Structure formats: structure tokens, C-alpha cells
């Protein structure tokens, strides 16, 4: 309870035999709390989208309205940034957005003493997978559309040629850093928020059991207020980080879809 990092600990719920794959090594197939969180998010999204679209009417109900808002958010995003080709990539961006959003929100589910939901997006393994999948799609689209012309991405138009030896390495490095920044931004935000929550909650606990003496009278209520405020902030962050990830995914896709037009 006191350790703010304990909440990120992977715990095996169902242990399955390890398998040894050539080139990768031993893989632990255990179904962990992280797997459970991902699966619940996955099921929740499918349930939500099914409810939204199963009986979709021209005049939407409340739930359908929420679903359409999210759909419209990402649809506007892709079509305004990428243009008319944005529709092709909309399902991908929407999937990423919904998946991250669901996992972020699920991480805030906490019934004290009964059940504490694991935050899958606080795992680098998870956020890195999203980052790599995104950049992999960018690479695939780039090479499929432009072939070797993809490398023009690192040569911005309108730059005087003496600057090119400087610009090209910078552009190349920034491209290489994209999956890393995608990974770390989401991971850092989710983990930082949860650590902060836990630290202040720990102060409340310490004050309540008298662990810090009379100082607790002052620290307890203050920390309790902080926890409350931070929880509200975390809801904002949970949505914002999913949205930011979606926006950056769209921008990176736009770079290769409209290569040479927007630079």
C-alpha cells in the first residue's frame, strides 16, 4: 500500500507454461493483471461499439450520441489533417484512440480494498507496442506509396542546399525518435499521474494512522484534497493522452501520405 510503484507490478493470474521461440528466447505466456486490463478494455470497446452501432438510428439516442461524438472527433481529425485520403486511415487511428482511452480510463477504476484495476498503459511494453505499430504503419504506407521516394521525408523542400548536411541528420534523428516519444509520453503521463495519486493517498493513510503525529491533522485533509483534485486531473489526462496519441499518429501518417505536398 505504501509503495507507489507496487501498482505497476506485473502479477501472474493464470500461469501458463513458458515457450521457447527461436530468435526471441523464452516467452512467459502467463495471463497477468496487465493482460486482464487489456482484455477488459478490449471487451469494453467491443461492447460499447456494438451497443452504439447495433441499432443505430438516424436520430441518435444518448449512447449512440457519445459513440458518434468519438467517431466524429477522430473522423474530423484524420480528414482535416490528411485530407480526403484520411478516411482510409480513420479506422486505425480510431482503434488506437479507443484502445488507449479505454485502458487509461480503466486504470482509474479503483474500489478501495476490494478491487484495483491495473493500468495497462503505464507499462512500457504496452505503450512501446503502440508506438512501434504506429511507426511501422507509417513506414509501410511510406514505402508502399513512394518507394524509395520515402526518403524525401528527410529532405524538407525549400531548404538551401548548404544547410542540407545539417537538416537531414536532424530530420532523420527526429523520425527515429518518434516511436520513442510516443512510447514515453503516454507511459510517463500515466505512470506519473498514478504515482502522484498513490503518494498523496499514502500521506492520507499515514496521517490517518497517526504515523506522522500531530502533523497529520494538517497533512491528512490537504493530501485528501490533492488526491481528489488529482483524480479529476487524471481523467483529463487519460482522455488527453489518448487524443494526443491519435493526433500524432495522424500527423505522422500525413507526412508519408502527402509526402512533398505539406513540407
Judged by the rule CB under 8 A, the positions of this chain that interact with other proteins are 1-6, 8-12, 24, 27-30, 32, 34-35, 38-39, 42, 45-46, 49-50, 52-53, 56-58, 60, 64, 67-68, 71-72, 90-92, 94-95, 98-99, 120, 122-126, 128-130, 133, 187, 191, 199, 202-203, 205-207, 209, 211-212
Backbone φ and ψ of 148, nearest 5°: -75, -15
Minimum distance from residue 194 beta carbon to other proteins (Å): 12
* Nearer CB in complex with other proteins: 153/227: 227
* Nearer CB in complex with other proteins: 52/256: 52
* Nearer CB in complex with other proteins: 45/168: 45
Minimum distance from residue 56 beta carbon to other proteins (Å): 4
* Residue whose C-alpha is closest to residue 131's, from 100, 101, 108, 155: 100
Backbone φ and ψ of 166, nearest 5°: -90, -45
The maximal CA–CA distance of the chain, rounded, in angstroms, is 70
CA–CA distance, 131 with 125 (Å, rounded to integer): 10
DSSP 8-state code for residue 123:
S
33: its cell numbers: 493483471
DSSP 8-state code for residue 258:
T
Answer for the pair 247, 77: CB distance below 8 angstroms, yes or no. Answer: yes
* Nearer CB in complex with other proteins: 122/241: 122
Minimum distance from residue 219 beta carbon to other proteins (Å): 8
* Nearer CB in complex with other proteins: 126/259: 126
Minimum distance from residue 173 beta carbon to other proteins (Å): 24
- Show Cβ contacts of residue 5 under 8 Å, excluding neighbours closer than 6 positions: 195
* Nearer CB in complex with other proteins: 42/224: 42
Minimum distance from residue 238 beta carbon to other proteins (Å): 18
CA–CA distance, 57 with 64 (Å, rounded to integer): 8
User: In a 3-state reduction of DSSP, which class is residue 26?
Assistant: strand
Minimum distance from residue 33 beta carbon to other proteins (Å): 9
Amino acid at each position: 500500500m505504501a509503495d507507489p510503484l507496487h501498482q505497476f507490478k506485473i502479477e501472474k493470474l493464470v500461469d501458463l507454461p513458458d515457450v521457447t521461440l527461436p530468435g526471441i528466447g523464452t516467452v512467459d505466456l502467463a495471463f497477468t493483471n496487465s493482460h486482464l486490463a487489456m482484455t477488459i478494455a478490449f471487451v469494453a470497446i467491443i461492447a460499447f461499439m456494438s451497443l452504439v452501432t447495433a441499432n443505430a438510428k438516424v436520430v441518435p439516442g444518448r449512447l449512440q450520441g457519445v459513440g458518434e461524438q468519438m467517431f466524429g472527433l477522430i473522423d474530423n481529425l484524420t480528414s482535416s489533417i490528411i485530407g480526403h485520403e484520411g478516411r482510409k486511415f480513420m479506422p486505425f487511428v480510431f482503434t488506437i484512440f479507443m484502445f488507449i482511452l479505454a485502458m487509461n480510463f480503466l486504470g482509474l477504476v479503483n474500489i478501495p480494498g476490494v478491487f484495483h484495476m491495473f493500468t495497462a498503459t503505464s507499462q512500457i511494453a504496452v505503450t512501446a507496442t503502440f508506438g512501434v505499430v504506429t511507426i511501422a504503419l507509417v513506414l509501410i504506407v511510406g514505402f508502399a506509396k513512394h518507394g524509395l521516394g520515402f526518403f524525401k521525408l528527410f529532405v524538407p523542400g525549400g531548404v538551401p542546399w548548404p544547410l542540407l548536411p545539417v537538416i537531414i541528420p536532424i530530420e532523420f534523428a527526429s523520425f527515429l525518435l518518434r516511436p520513442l516519444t510516443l512510447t514515453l509520453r503516454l507511459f510517463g503521463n500515466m505512470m506519473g499521474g498514478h504515482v502522484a495519486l498513490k503518494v498523496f493517498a499514502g500521506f492520507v493513510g499515514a496521517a490517518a494512522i497517526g504515523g506522522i503525529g500531530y502533523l497529520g491533522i494538517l497533512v491528512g485533509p490537504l493530501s485528501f484534497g490533492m488526491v481528489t483534485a488529482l483524480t479529476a486531473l487524471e481523467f483529463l489526462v487519460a482522455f488527453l493522452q489518448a487524443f494526443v496519441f491519435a493526433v500524432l499518429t495522424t500527423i505522422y501518417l500525413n507526412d508519408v501520405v502527402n509526402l512533398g505536398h505539406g513540407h
